Chains A and B, each alone.
Chain A
């Protein structure tokens, strides 16, 4: 039951910059901040970005986030092979207290 819309796939070559979009509505992204997570199958998801553009300690500054209106984006610059993973966005949905909604996820391939 994904509410946020992400492209299913993205790709780039090493060193390139790629962006992944996340589109929502006025009740989720439009009203709340956005988180981004990186997920490698079989491992625990990793927090990349919170509060739209904040990086936790330890996350390289190659990862950046932004938000405008009801959409958000994750940008990865200086693409590296280890960046190949699934990326998904998340935000609270004000239509229901305590409901977090996610994007379907974007599979990033490093060519």
Chain B
């Protein structure tokens, strides 16, 4: 059974780069069947799509974050990561990683999620 676990600093200073990692267990990030995604939820607000990455290098980012976000995969560690630069208080949120399956069809869905990790941007 595939499990995802987010990790990273819970506190980031304004203007710095937020870096999170999602460790995949019970499966492989090199699978051609999935996209690996990041989603966030600011306190009291709805979910926001951050972006997705395919193991062969294809990425798509939320246009509102595109200039600041990078998602990458480390196959040696079976992990994928999120880097968000020049953060502000508006980037304070719970960040989730998730697996996106059947992405080419009407059956697309995020079928496995991490528990989420809270990141606060504050000096």
Residues of A within 8 A of B (CB): 1-2, 32-33, 35, 37, 42-47, 50-51, 54, 56, 88, 90, 92, 96-105
Contacts and interface: CB of A to CB of B under 8 A. Distances in A.
Contacts of A98: 51-52, 60-61
B27 to A, nearest CB: 15
Contacts of A101: 49
Residue from A35, A43, A44, A90 with most neighbouring chain B CB atoms (10 Å): A44
B49 A51 contact: no
Interface of B: 4, 37, 39, 45-49, 51-52, 60-64, 96, 98, 106-111, 113-116
A97 B60 contact: yes
B60 A56 contact: no
A35 B96 contact: no
A58 to B, nearest CB: 11
Contacts of B108: 33, 35, 50, 92
Contact of A45 (B62, B106, B107, B113): B113
Secondary structure class of chain B's binding surface, majority of residues: strand
A56 B52 CA distance: 22
B115 A44 contact: yes
B107 A50 contact: yes
6 contacts: A32-B106, A35-B109, A44-B116, A47-B110, A50-B107, A105-B46
Nearest to A92: B108
Contact of B47 (A33, A88, A92): A88
A103 B49 CA distance: 11
B96 A99 contact: no
Given A88-B47, A102-B46, A44 B96 contact: yes
Given A96-B63, A102-B46, A102-B47, A44 B52 contact: no
